[in-house]
Chain A
Amino acid sequence: MVQWLVDLLSWAALLGGALFLVGSGIGLLRFPDFYTRLHAAGLADTLGTALTLLGLGLQAGFTQPSVKLAMILIFIWLTSPTSTHALAKSALHSGLKPSSTPSSGGKSS
C-alpha cells in the first residue's frame, strides 16, 4: 500500500517535471526575445529539475543516492538562478533592450 502510494507520487513528480522541462523547451523556441527566453529557460529549469529529482529520490528511498540527489538539487537551485541573473544583467548592461515594455503597450516589434 505504502509502496503503491510512493510510486504514484514519484510518477506524478516525474511527469510534472517532464511537463515543466518540455514547457521550458517550447518557451525557449517560441518566445520573441532574449529576456523572455531566459525567463522560460531559467524559471522552468529550476522547478522541472526539482520535480524530476524529487521523483527519482522517491524511487530511491532513504538511501545514499537520494542524499546525492538532494545535493544536486541544492547545487542547481543555487547555480541556475545565478547564471540566469548574470546573463540578464550582462545583456542589459551591454545595451540589449527588451522587445516590448509595459509603457509602449504590448507589441512594439
Chain B
Amino acid sequence: MEHHHILRTITKLLIPIILLFALYVQFHGDFGPGGGFQAGVIFGSGIILYGIVFGLDKAMAVIPPSVLRVLAALGVLLYGGVGLTGIFLGGQFLDYSVLAAEPTKGQHLGILLIELGVGTTVAAIMILLFFAFAGFNREERG
C-alpha cells in the first residue's frame, strides 16, 4: 500500500465527505429518507475505507476497539433508556409523546434520540466486525 498515491489521495479527500454524509443521513432521517441504521453503516464504511487503505493499525489508532465496545453498548443503552423514560413519565415503553410538554415535540425528541442510539451502535458494530475479520489472520500467526 506504500505506492498507491492515487488511492491514498482520493481516500483522504473522500473520507470527510463520507462522514459528513453519514451525519446528514442521521439527522435528516426525520424529514427525508435516512435514519440511524443507514447513517451508522455509512459512518462505519468511512472508517473501514480508512482501514483498508492505510492499514489496520492506523484505523485502530483512530478508534480503538475498546472505545467501540463502549459505544456499541451506549447506543443500546440510549435506545432502552428512552424507552424506559417513557414508562417512568407515565406512558408506555417507547412512548415519545410524554417526553416533552407537547406530544409532537416529545415525538420529535424521542425519534431523534432513538435514531442516534441506533446509529452509534450500528457504526460501532460495523467497524468492530471489520477489525475482527481484518485482524483474524494476524492473531493466528501470533
| Chain A contact residues, CB within 8 Å of chain B | 75, 78-79, 82, 85-86, 89
User: How many B residues touch A, CB cutoff 8 Å?
Assistant: 7
Interface residue ranges of B6-25 to A (CB < 8 Å)? 6-7, 10, 13-14, 17
A86 and B14: CB pair below 8 A?
A: no
Q: List 16 A-B contacts (CB under 8 A).
A: A75-B14, A75-B17, A78-B10, A78-B13, A78-B14, A79-B10, A79-B14, A82-B6, A82-B7, A82-B10, A85-B6, A85-B7, A86-B4, A86-B6, A86-B7, A89-B4
Looking at chain B's contact residues, the main secondary structure is: helix
Summed over the interface, the residue pairs from A and B with CB atoms below 8 Å come to a total of 16
Q: Compute how far the CA of A86 lies from the CA of B14 in the bound complex, rounded to whole angstroms.
A: 15
Q: How far is the CB of B54 from chain A (nearest CB, A)?
A: 14
A75-B17, A86-B6 are known contacts; what are 14 more A-B pairs with Cβ within 8 Å?
A: A75-B14, A78-B10, A78-B13, A78-B14, A79-B10, A79-B14, A82-B6, A82-B7, A82-B10, A85-B6, A85-B7, A86-B4, A86-B7, A89-B4
